[in-house]
Amino acid sequence: MKNNRLVRLIAGLVLLAVFAVVLTLSIKNYDYDKLMQDAQPKTVVVTVEVTVTPDAAAASAVTGKQEEQPPEPVPTVDPDSPAGRAAAIGLPEPPDVDVSGWEFILANPSTSISTYVPPQLETLEGQQFDSRIIEPMKAFIKGARDQGLSVYLSSGYRSYNDQEANFRRVCELNGVPDGKDAKGFYITLPAGNSEHQSGLCCDITDIYYSVKNRSLEDTALYKWMSVHCQEYGFIVRYPDGKEAVTEIMYEPWHFRYVGNEAADYIMENGLTLEEFLDLYKN
């Protein structure tokens, strides 16, 4: 009986020893890092999908592509305005000038200025002019002379009576009672229709000529003046090839003052004063 108890006791101690050994080995092999990791609070990541509609500029910045924009509306030009009339015949927009001003007095075969007299006349080198063009005329002449060119002024202002006498004289000398040449273009105009009566023009040559003709286009003076006249506000009033418009023969000696803006536009676009004024007609 005592032996059985002893055996059971020994067996119990052996089992206890085995349990102790197993427990020790289990503790040694346990992953403490994992244990600590598992002990940390968990972070939950939630993905939320948001749709944003960018504006055109932002979209272009992000994608690098230029969003197509509707074309800018093209401003319409009033066809009855100076710009509209110019565009219709392929000309650039004309300057913003008041064509009712004194610089644009028109005297031609179909337009009479009757007995008009400039408000104030002033004499320059033996010729009278509307006093308002004296300074531009002086500058024009000086510009030519600074180039070493000879300048001679003739036929500035003529009064109504002077023009009437001049018309009769030229007609008699040339045997043309109506003042026209064989081609039907005027070589002299009746009183009231001559631009000389405006006081805004002058015949300018290198020397005195008793008879003027188209050969004067070959003079050094005309070659310079016809290129630079607009810088001083003047134009070649009766250009070659425009006789059907002006009704007057080609005169490479007759210069007319219209002011710088108008002169630039007229000369750059090969116009006559008549064609320029037509752009502004009501």
In a domain, 235, yes or no: yes
Q: Provide the pairing of β-strand 152-154 with 201-205.
A: antiparallel
Q: Which burial class, exposed, middle or buried, applies to 157 when counting CB atoms under 10 A from its CB (0-12, 13-18, 19+)?
A: buried
Strands (E), the chain: 121-124, 127-130, 152-154, 201-205, 234-236, 254-257
CA dist 214 and 183 (Å) reads 14
- C-alpha closest to that of 246 among 266, 268, 271: 271
In a domain, 108, yes or no: yes
CATH number for the domain spanning 153: value is: 3.30.1380.10
> Is 205 a domain residue?
yes
> How many C-beta atoms lie closer than 10 Å to residue 144's C-beta?
21
Contact in structure between 263 and 235 (CB atoms under 8 Å): yes
Domain of residue 250 covers 94-278
Alpha helices for the chain (secondary structure H)? 2-29, 32-39, 56-63, 82-88, 134-145, 160-174, 220-228, 243-246, 260-268, 273-278
> Rounded to an integer, what distance in angstroms lies between the CA atom of residue 97 and that of residue 88?
19
Does residue 5 sit within a domain? no
Specify if 9 maps to a domain.
no
**Residue from 122, 195, 247, 251 carrying the catalytic annotation:** 251
The pTM assigned to this predicted structure is 0.74
Determine whether 251 is an active site residue. Answer: yes
Q: What is the pLDDT along the chain (282 residues), one digit of tens a residue?
A: 555 566 576 666 767 765 665 555 554 554 444 444 544 545 444 444 545 445 555 545 555 556 677 777 666 889 999 999 999 999 999 999 999 999 999 999 999 999 999 999 999 999 999 999 999 999 999 999 999 999 999 999 999 999 999 999 999 999 999 999 999 999 999 999 999 999 999 999 999 999 999 999 999 999 999 999 999 999 999 999 999 999 999 999 999 999 999 999 999 999 999 999 999 998
In a domain, 208, yes or no: yes
Residue 46 is predicted with a pLDDT of 41
Q: How many residues does the chain have?
A: 282
What is the tally of structural domains in the chain? 1
In a domain, 105, yes or no: yes
3-state SS string for 175-232: CCCCCECCCCCECCCCCCCCHHHHCCEEEEECCCCCCCCHHHHHCHHHHHHHHHHHHH
Rounded Cα–Cα distance for residues 152 and 221 (Å): 10
Residue 26, pLDDT score: 54
Domain assignment present for 27: no
Q: How far is Cα 113 from Cα 194, in angstroms, rounded to an integer?
A: 8
Beta strand pairing call for 234-236 and 254-257:
antiparallel
